Amino acid sequence: MDFALWMYPWDVLDEGVTTVVERLDDIGITEVNLATNYHTVQAFLPHNPVRKTFFAQASSYFQPDAGYVDLKPTPNETMGENDWVREIADGLEGTQIALTSWTVGCHNSRLGLQHPEMTIRTPFNDSLAFGLCPSNPAVQQYLLDVLEELSAREAFDRIELESFDYMYGTGFGWHHQKIHARLGTLGEFLFGLCFCDHCRENAANKGVDVDHAGRVCRETVLQLVEGRLPSTIDPYSWLATHPEVDKYVNARTSVLMTLFSDCREIVDAEMGYYLGLLDVEDAWMHGADLKRLAEPLDYYTVIAYESSGSAAAARLRVADSLTPDISLHVGLLPGHPAVDDAASVSELVDAVVDAGAERVSFYNYGLLPERNLDWIREAIREYV
């Protein structure tokens, strides 16, 4: 059984690679899922010896040197001329710790603000800066270029994809959120459904009446916020009675299939995709048809930041029922706000191992207090 920790590069380097390797070895961790290309963040860092917080706009933690065209990752300013990914990869070479690239794709507000024409466009034609649209060929090229560059470094045993899909919702959560109308899940989904030129064209090519679908989305969002439709309405059953929007939503799945197949061509390492940032059964909201997407992937990592073992195992079971032919890894949160004691972490680990998880990743080294790292050691002791 393999156990990994998600890690930020600043936490590794502030503490020193050698010290971190010793600590991971002591805990029983054999893999680092390192943030290589990452969204905007302000992190509270309880045990970092240098700083207690780190703020960064969406950044790469490597120096991009591949032949990027329209979109290029912005190397993080704190890093200066250095290449933190390379420093860490070099430092881990020859140790027992394997390296995974934790790779964020479309969630990039820095690039979204610079290129509003490449972001998600709501049915009302607003640009949502937090999310690049994967239907846009320039965005697809950017995602492939990032993967090509990382893959070419031959430093990673695995490359894991986060938000290489259609982001859900309004995007208001990443900054001072101002929403004083109740959208509900359906309203958030429809407001965040992309109607950029590329999404429209893609759906029109599949025979969808795009103008009609857009009009229904706009009317429904307004009905929801005015209370003429209940905000608790289930999006899945709503779509069943609105076939043009349903077809519009489904047209996105083939775009992701092609994108992931192209990613597969580039990535030599094992390739995984984070699943379940929403509920696992709601992956379709991201445009992901889990059964079909499994083909170009080696595994899914089911995000199960749950408070009980049974809830975490249930997520794995749902994923297995939706996509039975692919290996399932799992992500656990051994701390706030999911759990608050060692016994609960042990319960989580036992439950997901029992449910068939092939690998467990914990979130995340620098964000967890030291006592939580002790809880991980205790929880995985019998499996390492």
CA separation for the pair 56, 50 (Å, rounded): 16
CB of 168 to Zn ion, least distance (A): 13
CB of 193 to Zn ion, least distance (A): 9
Instruction: Give the nearer residue to Zn ion in terms of CB position, either 167 or 349.
Output: 167
CA separation for the pair 165, 167 (Å, rounded): 6
CB 105 within 8 A of CB 161: yes
Angle at 132 between CA 127 and CA 138, to 5 degrees: 115
In this structure, the number of other CB atoms found within 10 A of the CB of residue 78 comes to: 15
CB of 133 to Zn ion, least distance (A): 3
Positions that interact with Zn ion (CB under 5 A): 133, 135, 194, 196, 199
Instruction: Give the nearer residue to Zn ion in terms of CB position, either 133 or 251.
Output: 133
CB of 201 to Zn ion, least distance (A): 9
Instruction: Give the nearer residue to Zn ion in terms of CB position, either 221 or 304.
Output: 221
Report the SS3 class of residue 215.
helix
DSSP-H helix ranges across 226-366? 235-240, 243-266, 290-293, 309-322, 342-354
Instruction: Give the nearer residue to Zn ion in terms of CB position, either 45 or 217.
Output: 217
CA separation for the pair 16, 18 (Å, rounded): 6
CB of 210 to Zn ion, least distance (A): 12
CA separation for the pair 168, 22 (Å, rounded): 39
CB of 62 to Zn ion, least distance (A): 27
Cβ neighbors of 283 (< 8 A, separation 6 or more) are: 275, 276, 290, 322
Instruction: Give the nearer residue to Zn ion in terms of CB position, either 17 or 118.
Output: 118
Instruction: Give the nearer residue to Zn ion in terms of CB position, either 133 or 355.
Output: 133
How many helices, marked H, and strands, marked E, lie in the chain?
Answer: 14, 13
CB of 144 to Zn ion, least distance (A): 17
